Amino acid sequence: MWIFYEAEIPRIKLPDRALLSPALIRRGEQLATVGDCIVCHTADNEPALAGSRALATPFGTLYSNNITPDPDSGIGSWSADAFRRAMKQGVARDGSHLYPALPYEHFSRVTDDDLDAVYAFLMSRDPVKKTAPPNELMPGLGFRPLLAGWKLLFLRTAATASDPSESPEWNRGRYLVDGLAHCGGCHTPRNILGGEEWGKRFAGGVAEGWNAPPLDASNVPSERWNVETLYGYLKTGTARGHSSAAGPMGPVTEGLSRLNDDDVRSIATYIDSTMHAGAVTRPAGRRVAGGGADV
């Protein structure tokens, strides 16, 4: 039964912010920016990272958790071990399974060192006492032990291995794209159970009612994208000859505008390689989260 019911990790005293390394906090802030933590964990006109943002899914509405260091309604009583387990295995400090709206199937590929930096950043924020509303899911899906079965089917824990035949910039981009940036979470189609279709990686998906366009060669204007135009688009939300970021891609590019240039260029380098890896047929779509007929 251990697979359905995980052990609770003991509460800790809120870490002293004065003891957190400023350099580690700064690195964690950049990594949290890659992961769009503030986008999903901040409700409209509410304090940053305090949760309660409504996340529409095909199975109902989920409300994001408070990830400020409040010890009762947030993660202030979580140890670094508890935080890593949540991010990599989708299990909360109290042992309950978390819904994969937290993209732990991608975060499982992030190194412990990077997760510790994100943890330090979050623990350096001001605590906010705010509890998320109850989730509004289809009947039966509120039974969290069912998520253990979902994880058996779809959660992979293998780290992203470096490819020595590619440049350090390309490898950094792949690590960020496949891990914290979780680009495949929106840009890969999902099956009836909500799992990514691994054989159709980056073939396009749906995010919040918008089509997330393909990030492979099935994207019609892929031949017009290159590292420079992708870099400009990710950094500013616009690129000459292409439409502007819209829908859920808007907040993504707004966040990436605060990310260091080297990491944005690494992401652009890797995405450029996936978009020119070979031609395939582009699936039909509806509205595109870039505001037009391309990424």
Residue 151 has pLDDT above 60, yes or no: yes
Q: CA of 195: how far to CAs of 36, 49, 82, 102, 190, in Å?
A: 20, 26, 24, 13, 5
Confidence of residue 285 (pLDDT cuts 50, 70, 90): very low
Residue 255 domain-assigned?
yes
Same domain for 236 and 190: yes
Residues in the chain: 295
Beta strands in 13-117 (DSSP E): 54-57, 60-63
Beta strands in 67-182 (DSSP E): 136-137
Containing domain of residue 228, as a range?
168-275
Residue 220 tokens read as 């019609």
Q: 10 — alpha (psi -120 to 50), left (phi > 0) or beta?
A: beta
The mean pLDDT value of the chain amounts to: 90
pLDDT tens-place string over residues 34-56:
999 999 999 999 999 999 999 99
Residue 227 domain-assigned?
yes
Residue 295 domain-assigned?
no
Distance CA 219, CA 213 (A): 7
pLDDT tens-place string over residues 220-272:
777 789 999 999 999 999 988 777 888 889 999 999 999 999 999 999 999 99
Residue 39 domain-assigned?
yes
Same domain for 199 and 172: yes
Confidence of residue 217 (pLDDT cuts 50, 70, 90): confident
Beta strands in the chain (DSSP E): 54-57, 60-63, 136-137, 205-207, 210-212
Among 55, 71, 90, residue whose Cα is nearest residue 12 = 71
Query: For 37, which DSSP code?
Result: H
Quick one: pLDDT at residue 156? 86
Residue 75 domain-assigned?
yes
Quick one: pLDDT at residue 278? 54
Taking only Cα atoms into account, the Rg of the chain, rounded to an integer number of angstroms, comes to: 19
Same domain for 187 and 125: no
pTM attached to this predicted model: 0.90
Quick one: pLDDT at residue 277? 82
Confidence of residue 1 (pLDDT cuts 50, 70, 90): very low
211 has which bridge partners?
A: 206, 288
Same domain for 241 and 139: no
CB 60 within 8 A of CB 140: no
Same domain for 176 and 146: no
Domain count, the chain: 2
Same domain for 118 and 95: yes
Residue 161 domain-assigned?
no
CB 132 within 8 A of CB 86: no
Quick one: pLDDT at residue 3? 67
Distance CA 94, CA 82 (A): 9
Same domain for 223 and 120: no
CB 135 within 8 A of CB 142: yes
Give the pLDDT mean for 157-168. Answer: 90
Cα(first)–Cα(last) distance of the chain, in Å? 44
CB neighbour list of residue 154: distance below 8 Å, 6 or more residues apart: 100, 105, 193, 195, 196
Residue that finishes a domain, picked among 125, 154, 183: 154
Same domain for 132 and 24: yes
Confidence of residue 291 (pLDDT cuts 50, 70, 90): very low
pLDDT tens-place string over residues 91-140:
999 999 999 999 999 999 999 999 999 999 999 999 999 999 999 999 99
Q: CA of 253: how far to CAs of 1, 50, 169, in Å?
A: 43, 21, 20
Confidence of residue 219 (pLDDT cuts 50, 70, 90): confident
Same domain for 82 and 198: no
Residue 265 domain-assigned?
yes
Same domain for 257 and 232: yes
Distance CA 76, CA 100 (A): 22
Residue 2 has pLDDT above 80, yes or no: no
Same domain for 150 and 25: yes
Quick one: pLDDT at residue 153? 92
Same domain for 103 and 56: yes
Give the pLDDT mean for 189-217. Answer: 92
